[in-house]
Amino acid sequence: MFSGFLTIAPSCGVCGLTLAHEDAGDGPAVFVILIYGFLMAGLAAWVELSYEPPFWVHAVIFVPLILGGSALLLRPFKATLVALQYKHRVAGFENEPDGPAGR
């Protein structure tokens, strides 16, 4: 369903469902920030309180972990939000017929 890193293709390559009108907006970034950010902040606090490493150790561990993890999570969160828009028939999916699984 993606035609670029985070760009949704105009239509599904398998079933042809029109995806051009999806509207995930900032939703994926919000969920990644709130969920992954919460986990990383907790992990950083735990590392600091448990081992008291110098600052550069935090930088070496958490900068790539936070940037890489966030980038990896954006796609599945975006795909999930578009799937939920389709399931609940919102954001341009209002007139899509029910599939074999129904709603």
Residues at the site binding Zn ion, with contacts judged by CB under 5 A = 12, 14-15, 17
Q: Which residue is at the shortest CB distance from Zn ion?
A: 12
Rg, Å, the chain Cα set: 18
CA distance 59 to 66: 10
C-alpha closest to that of 93 among 6, 24, 14: 24
CB of residue 70 to Zn ion, shortest distance in Å: 27
Nearer to Zn ion, 54 or 102 (CB): 102
CB of residue 17 to Zn ion, shortest distance in Å: 5
Question: How many helices (DSSP H) and strands (DSSP E) are in the chain?
Answer: 3, 0
Nearer to Zn ion, 11 or 70 (CB): 11
Structure tokens at 28: 């994926």
Nearer to Zn ion, 58 or 89 (CB): 89
CB of residue 1 to Zn ion, shortest distance in Å: 7
